[in-house]
Amino acid sequence: MASKNKNKCCYAQSGKSAKERLERFWSLFEKEDEVLVCINADPDAIACAMGIKRLLRYRVKSLTIAHPNEIRRLNNVAMVERLKIPLERLGNIKLGDFSKKVLVDSQPSHLPVFERITFDAIIDHHPLKGEPQAPFVDIRPQYGACSTMLVEYLRAGNLKPSVALATALFYAIKVDTQDFSKQSVLADGISFRYLFNVANRNLVKKFELTDLRRSELKNFNVALNELTYSKGRFYTHIGKVRNPDILVNIADFLNHVDKIDWVLVSGIHKGKLVVIFRCDGYRKNAGKLAEQIFAELGSAGGHKEAARAEVPLENLSLGDKEFTTNALKRMATRHMK
């Protein structure tokens, strides 16, 4: 394992060219290596893992992509299924079967399962946490998407991505930058434009639109029946839901309504109250509101325009009562001007 000082220079790579980074990355591997690429599966992580696989094709004996989390969002399921991406659950494989291990779009401190693994390479764009220890570390928090970094690696190696890989990388940059409405840098735009004519953009549109199961349509009916309006604010409580992602879909749908300043949608999933917040982020801060209401009861936070809270039901002291839309409204209005 590299020393701390060596790692410091590894993730302070602003002075290195993409070609130099790629050569250093390639130097880690040998022909007989069996490589494990670990991800916390989402579009950016999946696309990056596909990029690593392309970079190491013909350079190693085998490569396996594994993730510890369950892939539940339909957009992500559609991406994996339509692009036929081979993924394994991390719990189903033996770490000892692999001679080299790579972590991409994440850092060891992000998940306990990653902290227990010794990685040979770490590539990420999230804010630096601690001092990740690996022979090769490339962390660039200013980038909007980790996929942008993989595009730079591919281009440095003169490796043109396949349509499937380009589609995955293109979609990942769209998702992580929220169509460039979130933090991004010029490099994100350059990589996005490079992929534009290679990616199957019709397929990307299908990924974006695939976010509802037929069985979840009834939740919209409940949401609309329960919907309460007050002073430019929408409140609705759905009750028990099989997947909390439906609350996000409903909140985003209601956020399209004219002259609505706030949307709060709640539901109950696996013994927790889940609340989704939406606002325009202009002189409002959904993350702060979520913390003010729920931080002392559970986990809460987010961005100015979007936030989330999760609270164990026992912390709400409901007794025999059920949580309702009116209860959600009462809790929120105490903290809203």
* Domains with residue ranges and CATH for the chain: 4-209 (3.90.1640.10), 217-333 (3.10.310.40)
pLDDT at 130: 80
Rg of the chain taking only CA atoms, in angstroms: 22
Burial 159-173 (b: 16+ CB within 10 A, else e): eebeebbbbbbbbbb
* C-alpha to C-alpha distance for 332 and 292, rounded to whole angstroms: 9
pLDDT at 132: 87
Residues 6+ apart with CB under 8 A from 24: 16, 136
Long-range pairs, 314-323, Cβ under 8 A, ≥24: 316/273, 323/237, 323/266, 323/268, 323/273
Question: Which residue's structure tokens are 């220890």?
Answer: 133
pLDDT at 167: 98
* C-alpha to C-alpha distance for 221 and 192, rounded to whole angstroms: 38
Tokens of 299: 């986990």
* C-alpha to C-alpha distance for 88 and 276, rounded to whole angstroms: 31
pLDDT at 226: 97
pLDDT at 6: 40
Among candidates 145, 106, 140, 111, which has minimal Cα distance to 122? 106
pTM: 0.73
Q: What is the pLDDT along the chain (337 residues), one digit of tens a residue?
A: 333 334 443 454 445 899 999 999 999 999 999 999 999 999 999 999 999 999 999 999 999 999 999 998 889 999 999 999 999 999 999 999 999 999 999 999 888 999 999 999 999 998 888 888 899 999 999 999 999 999 999 999 999 999 999 999 999 999 999 899 888 999 999 999 999 999 999 999 999 988 888 889 999 999 999 999 999 999 999 999 998 989 999 999 999 999 999 999 999 999 999 999 999 888 889 999 999 999 999 989 888 888 999 999 999 988 778 999 999 999 999 888 6
* C-alpha to C-alpha distance for 32 and 245, rounded to whole angstroms: 42
